[in-house]
Each structure stands twice: as structure tokens, then as C-alpha cells.
Amino acid sequence: MNKYLLTIDQGTTSTRAIIFDKKGKIKALSSKEIKCLTPQPSYVEQDPLEILASVKYVLKSVFNNTNINPSQIDSIGITNQRETTILWDKNTGKPVYNAIVWQSKQSNYICEELINKNYQQIIKDKTGLPIDSYFSATKIKWIMEHVDGLDKKIANNEILFGTVDTWLLWNLSINKVHYTDYSNASRTMLFNIKDLQWDDELLKILNIPRNILPKVVDSSMIYDYINPDFFFDNKIPIASMIGDQQAALFGQACFNKGDLKNTYGTGCFLLLNTKDNIVDSKNGLITTIAWGINNKIDYALEGSIFVAGSAVQFLRDNLKIIYNAAQTEEKASLVKDNGGVYFVPTFSGLGSPYWNMDVKGALLGITRATTNNHIIRATLEAIAYQTKDIINIIEKDAKCKVTKLKVDGGASENKLLMQFQSDILNIDIEQPSTYETTALGAALLAGLATSYFKDYQEIIDNYTISKTYKPQMNKEEIDKLYQKWKLALETCMKFI
């Protein structure tokens, strides 16, 4: 009987369950959208119970249109939106507040307090991260400050914290296991990536109690078995947990030092595998943990772009100039260039390499000749320009020359965007045969834990490229376009 791998891919806008065969091919997929709540303009929240319900839904429905039986599932992997923060009552299982999503800015004031007390360097030295509301620590503190009676429950050891991976594992496992993996722990701003433990000094600075924190473990191991209440009568191990961007790095077979990928999702996230080398960025990148396997840590250098696919959603939902994301390629192709229009979509402030929480977006260069198609094209180009910003810094910090970029995520299916990305970077862009690389990465890690795969080489042998984009633009044109982008960005940064 053939065996398969199942991934729960819990993202910012949807939850998916995907079944893969041993070659990494998708055999079945189920998806369910989840809502983002914005009780105030800078807040982005979700209902943790809706997240859990969406997982239950896709776990059942993924088997609806396939001949695969749950008994054929070798193991289950979990990959998740990172930094999103949940606190819950371990006796009732109920969240004490909504999940505060990674994009949310409601804890900005806590970050400003930390910056004013000159904690930037100590936090960066220990965690590899800048002080920013993007990460989990200030979100935890915000919930603690805003939920009445929570301090007493924490003192009584009744409250648990977790990022989405931890929340799901606790709810899905038979024994209510309270774990997180190294990749997710490294995004909290509380985890010492050198000592590989929760940092007492940082916990004291933020006044966050250790007793709410999960145990930090490998990204690939058998944590527990899925609860039979989820209709799985078989003893199926939950065998991987990993943050979504690190999962995509693994799914792209970026196992060697210097391997680089970019995921084009809600945001854009570039990760460079640095193996056992902890690269201290001098230019605004994040030093993070890629994964932990067999108690061995791989590190990565990351550039985080907060707005990419969400800029396309803005065109659809706010400006209403497209009906769906796929239309952007068609409409942008109707004009020969951007018509001098530049869109800086900084809806959630600027991430790498600027780390400015207050910058607002702008549309510049509009004339009477500007059409919707120019704006659509400028939106796609903005994604490529932001990627170039990050790669320029990666080359400085890692002291390497980037010669190719592996890509994945929804927007990587946009041919116009990928060709422009190749042009503006002047390098080859490689697109894998399996486009769901985030989910695939979690599946591969689960398969390693159960010996479904014997080693890395078996995974590498199954990895194939479906398309390569090659640059077609001359250097003079690249420089001209990019300098105008930098000018547009500088204009936004002055208008705060």
C-alpha cells in the first residue's frame, strides 16, 4: 500500500491541507479562507477558534475527492504563519484574546518604550532581531496588559502561550503537547539563538513569565499522535513543525550554504541558508534559525517585506480595479511599461532593511495619461523592487554574489512579475515543479522524522525545476528604473 505525507499549512489568509506523494507531487488539496479582524486601523487579529475550525475542516475535506485513505498517511507536518500570538487557558482550552497577527501594529508603543530604554543592541545580540511589533514578544505583553484578571491566572499556572504551530499541536495531539520548534521560537524576540533557550534577561525586560512558554524542540521529530476525534482512527504521528518561510527554504531543497529563496505571498520573505554560521547583519536583515534536525541547527539570513500579495489584494478589495489576482498579469501586459508610475505599498510600515513602523504608502508619478493598468503594473514592479532592496543587502552582509534566486508562492505564478524580477536583478529566476513548497517543506521534514525518506539526498533527487527566467534588460535601463524606485521610497520615508 502506497504511503503519503499530509501537511497542515496554516497561513494568514487561509488554511490548507495538502497530501503529497514521495516525489513531492500534490495528490489532494483542501483550502478554507479565514478572516482577518481589524477592530482598529493598526490592529490585525484573528479568532484562534476559527483557525482551529478551519484546520479541522481541511483535514476532513482533503480526502473527499481522492482515493487515498487516512490509513495511508505516513505522518503529518505543520507549517504556520509566524509571530502570530495566542494565549489560552489550558483548563478550558479557550483563548483569552484574539490571535494578534504578525502584521498587527497595536504593540508599537511597547517597542518604542524598549527603544527609548536602549534595549536594541542587547535584543539583537541575543535574538538576531530588531525591536519591532512584527515579533511575538510585544504582542504577548500587549495581551497581558489588556486582559483583566490574566495576571492571576498566569500566577496559578493556568495560561499557555504559543505561536500558531503550538496552538495547533496542543489542540490536535492526544496528550495536549505544548511544544514549539526552533524556527518559530526564533521569531518571538525572547529566544536566544546562540544558547538555544528562552532568555531570562529578555523575559525580565519584558516582564513575561517563563511558565507560559512552550518547550523548544527540533523541527523534525515525532511530537505526539493526532487525536482520534479528528476522525483519524489510525495512529498517525505529528512529525514536523516549522515556520512557513523556513518550510519553503526546506521545500526548495536549499540545504547548502548560500542557497537563497524568495516566497511571494502576503508578504515577501527572502531566506539565505548560512548553515552553522550566525551572520550578524549590519544592514537591517534578520538573523534567524532555519530549522533544527537531530539537535543540529541551520541558521539563515532573512529579509522581510511586509506587503507583496496583500498589495494585489488592495487593488482588488479597496481600489476594485481587478476581480482576482490572476488578472494582474493580463492587465499589466496591456501597457509597455509603468508609465512613470511608482507604487510604494507600505501599509504595515517598512520591514527589512529599514524597520520603520510609521511609514505610509504612496502612489507617485500620476499624469492624465495614467490608467488602471499602469497602477497594476506598478504594483507588481514594487514587489520586484523590494526584493532587489533585500538582495543588495544580503550580498553585503553575507559577503556573497547572488547568481540565482529560487522562487515560490502565489505571485511566483505571474510570468510578467517573474520576468521583471529576473530583469531588475539581472540573474536567473528558478521556479520549482512543485509550487506548494511551503507545505512540501513541512511534509519532507515529517518524512525525515519517520524514515519515510532515508536522507537529504533522496529529497534532492526528487527536486526539479519547471521554468527558468533569464534577464533581458540592459544595465542602463535597470539603473534608471531602480533609482526612481529608491526616490519614491525616500519620499515616503520623509512623509511621516
Check residue 411 and give its pLDDT: 85
Check residue 40 and give its pLDDT: 86
Band of residue 1 on the pLDDT scale cut at 50, 70, 90: low
Q: What is the CATH code of the structural domain delimited by 4-244? A: 3.30.420.40
Band of residue 46 on the pLDDT scale cut at 50, 70, 90: very high
Distance CA 65, CA 28 (A): 7
Check residue 160 and give its pLDDT: 98
CA 9 vs CA 109, 168, 331, 393: distances in Å:
32, 11, 30, 30
Check residue 433 and give its pLDDT: 87
Mean pLDDT estimate for the chain: 91
354-358, 405-409, 479-483: the lowest-pLDDT one: 354-358
Closest to 361 in 3D by CA, of 352, 348, 371:
348
Check residue 400 and give its pLDDT: 83
Q: For the residues 436-452, what does the mean pLDDT come to?
A: 95
Check residue 402 and give its pLDDT: 87
Check residue 65 and give its pLDDT: 81
Which 3 state secondary structure label does DSSP give 407? Answer: strand
pLDDT of 448 strictly over 70? yes
Hey, what's the cell of 35?
A: 478572516
Distance CA 425, CA 405 (A): 9
pLDDT of 334 strictly over 90? yes
Check residue 83 and give its pLDDT: 93
Band of residue 7 on the pLDDT scale cut at 50, 70, 90: very high
Tell which wins on pLDDT, 229 or 316. 316
Give φ, ψ of 492 to 5 degrees: -65, -40
Q: For the residues 265-269, what does the mean pLDDT come to?
A: 83
Check residue 308 and give its pLDDT: 82
Where helices occur in 252-351 by DSSP H, the ranges are 309-317, 327-332
pTM over 0.95? The answer is no
Check residue 274 and give its pLDDT: 92
Distance CA 496, CA 494 (A): 6
Check residue 61 and give its pLDDT: 93
pLDDT of 144 strictly over 70? yes
213-222, 370-379, 399-408: the lowest-pLDDT one: 399-408
pLDDT of 297 strictly over 90? yes
Question: How does DSSP assign 304-327, residue by residue?
Answer: EES-SHHHHHHHHHTS---SSTTH
Other CB atoms within a 10 A radius of the CB of residue 401 amount to: 8
Band of residue 98 on the pLDDT scale cut at 50, 70, 90: very high
Q: What percent of the chain stands above pLDDT 70?
A: 99
Residues in CB range of 88: below 8 A, 6 or more apart? 48, 94, 95, 96, 159, 160, 162, 167
Angle at 448 between CA 447 and CA 453, to 5 degrees: 75
What are the sequence ranges of the domains in the chain?
Answer: 4-244
Q: For the residues 240-246, what does the mean pLDDT come to?
A: 95
Give φ, ψ of 344 to 5 degrees: -105, 100
Whether 44 contacts 299, CB under 8 Å: no
Check residue 496 and give its pLDDT: 64
DSSP 8-state class, residue 219 = S
Give φ, ψ of 440 to 5 degrees: -60, -40
Residues in CB range of 291: below 8 A, 6 or more apart? 181, 182, 183, 218, 219, 220, 242, 246, 250, 297, 298, 445
Burial of 107 by CB count in 10 Å (0-12 exposed, 13-18 middle, 19+ buried)?
buried
Check residue 409 and give its pLDDT: 83
15-24, 47-56, 226-235, 382-391: the lowest-pLDDT one: 226-235
pLDDT of 350 strictly over 80? no
Burial 210-232 (b: 16+ CB within 10 A, else e): eebbbebbbbbbebbbbeeeeeb
